[in-house]
């Protein structure tokens, strides 16, 4: 696992020392390297655990003219297909990794870029021309992403404790609220987007967050929603063997996609029914 964090400021330039302090708080998420991008109003940082293009894909990552800066946690399973299509449209890649694909996808498709991704991911992308920050999380929320915002801007990270390393983020429990306490006691956890800390939210799976310089209020919206079963034209009276084969083929394809790596792979079998 890698880790990302960042600050988007509505006023003063981002302090590098503060960003480095947040990044150091999640050193356990990425022993293979660290990176920082500072651009006055926005600072991005990350810790890297190398899986693909171990040597060449240190972050932050950029597009050709460095207008777009990216920090990324996760894996993009269809990056080779996407990369091929983008190269045919004239995009030039500097690395052999999967993360750079996101920067060029945004360059080509703008805010719709997350729709093209198959994988587990959370990323933050700064567009210096549009003065826009884009956060996005994968469709089922395998990779975490939390944020806090106030009149002074937006702070985000892969872990809540990284947010708490910023002095502006209050350490105030949300469980003082009877409704939040009832949710915790009823479910054993607090459903997203709420968290156990007041003012800290989780970006929902399949959602993106947009922060525009000059407008401190971030906007969140879904870029993908789980389709209705009817959309797959399933017939309850159909041949069960056909559906068994569909599931088998789906599992086979999913396994093959997840075996892309430049480091040794392993399989963990829990022994359960999951």
- Residue 54 pLDDT: 53
Q: Compute the C-alpha angle 86/83/220, nearest 5°.
A: 80
> Is the bond leading into 60 cis (omega within 30 degrees of zero)?
yes
5 is catalytic: no
**pLDDT score at 5:** 96
Q: pLDDT tens, 193-211? A: 999 999 999 999 999 999 9
Residue 59 half-sphere exposure, CB side, CA atoms within 13 Å? Answer: 36
Structure-derived torsion over alpha carbons of residues 265, 258, 52, 115, reported in degrees to the nearest 10: -160
Q: 3-222 falls under which CATH superfamily?
A: Aminohydrolase, N-terminal nucleophile (Ntn) domain (3.60.20.10)
- What pLDDT score was predicted for residue 243? 82
pTM: 0.88
- What pLDDT shows up at residue 50? 62
Domain ranges of the chain: 3-222
Burial label, 237 (beta-carbon count in 10 A; 0-12, 13-18, 19+): exposed
Q: Please report the pLDDT score of residue 274 as a whole number.
A: 47
* Alpha helices, H only, 110-239: 160-163, 178-187
Query: Residue 213: which of 103, 143, 132 has the closest Cα?
Result: 132
Smallest CA-to-CA distance from 19 within 35, 2, 43 is with 43
pLDDT of residue 186: 94
Q: Is the peptide bond before 149 cis (omega within 30 degrees of 0)?
A: no
In sequence order, the 6+-apart residues with CB closer than 8 A to the CB of 219 are 209, 210, 211
Residue 35 contacts residue 43 (beta carbons within 8 Å)? no
Residue with tokens 């559906």, as numbered in its chain? 243
Q: Which of the residues 2, 19, 46, 69 is marked catalytic? A: 2
Per-residue pLDDT, 237: 66
Structure tokens at 220: 């969140």
DSSP class of residue 9? E
For the chain, 274 residues long, the average pLDDT of each consecutive 10-residue run is 91 90 91 84 87 64 94 93 95 91 96 96 96 97 96 96 95 92 93 95 98 90 85 67 87 82 72 55
Query: What pLDDT, on a 0 to 100 scale, did the predictor assign at position 91?
Result: 93
């Amino acid at each position: 696992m890698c880790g990302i964090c960042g600050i988007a400021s509505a006023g003063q330039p981002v302090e590098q020392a503060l960003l480095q302090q947040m990044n150091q708080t999640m050193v356990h998420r990425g022993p293979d390297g660290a990176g920082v991008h500072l651009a006055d109003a926005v600072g991005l940082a990350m810790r890297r655990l190398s899986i693909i293009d171990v040597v060449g894909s240190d972050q932050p990552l950029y597009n050709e003219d460095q207008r777009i800066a990216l920090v990324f946690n996760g894996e993009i399973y269809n990056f080779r297909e996407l990369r091929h299509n983008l190269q045919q449209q004239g995009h030039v890649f500097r690395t052999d990794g999967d993360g750079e694909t996101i920067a060029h996808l945004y360059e080509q498709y703008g805010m719709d870029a997350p729709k093209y991704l198959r994988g587990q991911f959370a990323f933050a992308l700064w567009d210096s021309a549009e003065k826009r920050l884009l956060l996005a999380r994968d469709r089922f929320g395998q990779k975490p992403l939390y944020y806090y915002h106030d009149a002074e801007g937006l702070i985000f990270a892969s872990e809540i404790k990284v947010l708490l390393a910023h002095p502006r983020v209050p350490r105030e429990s949300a469980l003082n609220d009877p409704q939040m306490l009832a949710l915790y006691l009823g479910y054993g956890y607090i459903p997203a987007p709420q968290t156990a800390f007041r003012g800290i939210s989780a970006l929902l799976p399949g959602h993106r967050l947009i922060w525009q310089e000059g407008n401190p209020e971030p906007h969140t919206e879904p870029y993908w929603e789980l389709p209705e079963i009817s959309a797959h034209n399933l017939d309850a009276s159909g041949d069960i063997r056909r559906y068994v084969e569909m599931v088998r083929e789906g599992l086979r394809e999913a396994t093959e996609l997840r075996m892309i790596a430049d480091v040794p792979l392993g399989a963990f079998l829990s022994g359960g029914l999951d």
